[in-house]
A and B are shown apart, each in its own frame.
Chain A
Amino acid sequence: MAIAGLLLPTLMTSARADEEPAKPVAADVADSESEAVPVEETPDLPAEIPTPATDDETPDALRRSLVTPNVAATEQDEASESDEESNIFTEWWFWAAAAAVVGGTVAVGILASQPSDKPARGCMPGYLCFGDGRE
């Protein structure tokens, strides 16, 4: 019951614990570095608390606690994915592309707002030509 008391708060932080399938504890503990720490301290616990052999003999809290490392691993994966998302703003090519888009748009807007360079018709001989589209 002591291990259940240690791991119960971790269990309460995630509502998804019940949805995750149970996996072997040892493998997940090795992959986790954050909230799986209490599980790594298990060897310090009294030896007379064995891993329950059957579900009928295991208290619900303890059984759920054995799933906790799996939940922690899932949360860590989500955190890692979140880091990757935020890392896009630290990539040079992202800002280069953003600058290209903004600069190109401004340039296109300026060009579009100005009169076309299409000249007026040619000047007929003997005529004094002036006005728009003429030098």
Chain B
Amino acid sequence: MNSILYKTFFGIAATLFLFGASGCSEETTYSYFTIKMSLDPALEPEFLARVGACGLVVTGSDEHQITVPCLGENGKVVESLGAADFSTSEISGQLQFILNVYDFNRKLVALGTSARYGIVPNGQTAASVEAKKIKPDDRADTLKAAPSDSGAP
């Protein structure tokens, strides 16, 4: 009878071990997005002089945000905001990128929304987003759409 106990005990142990070990075999799959960020070339120098901070927000199947260093050493907006490389462990769905530009009073003054890009596991997707000046009439609507802490430093 003792042998039955032993067999039962170690049988359960082996089953649990194999069940748990099967979960360890999974590896994270990343999808990559390269986002080219820019400001509307039509923005006036007076407007650009008011820019104090920029932020990039990821929405959709995954959510992230990051501060974009859009000010140069001289305190003025750099001509090119450059590109961001975003990685997600989601394996399906869509992502959208929002570029927020704030003035020194942390008021949203320019906004850019990219198209929706599908997530391709182990894939590389090129995206772009351009921020355009927000008209006073549009500001109320865009503020509602944008997250409250959307990339603001």
Contact = CB atoms under 8 A, between A and B. Distances in A.
B83 A132 contact: no
Contact of B58 (A97, A128, A131): A131
B84 A116 contact: no
Interface residues of A, number: 32
A90 interface: no
Contact of A121 (B1, B9, B30): B30
Contacts, number: 96
A130 B83 contact: no
Contacts of B84: 127-130
Nearest to B86: A131
A109 interface: yes
A118 B62 contact: no
A48 interface: no
A1 interface: no
Interface stretch (B17-25, B71-79, B140-148): B17-25
Interface in B86-110: 86-90
A108 interface: yes
Nearest to A100: B13
Contacts of A42: none
A131 B89 CA distance: 9
Contacts of A97: 9, 13
Contacts of A108: 17, 20-21, 23-24
A61 to B, nearest CB: 35
Interface string A76-118: 0000011011001000001001100100110011011101101
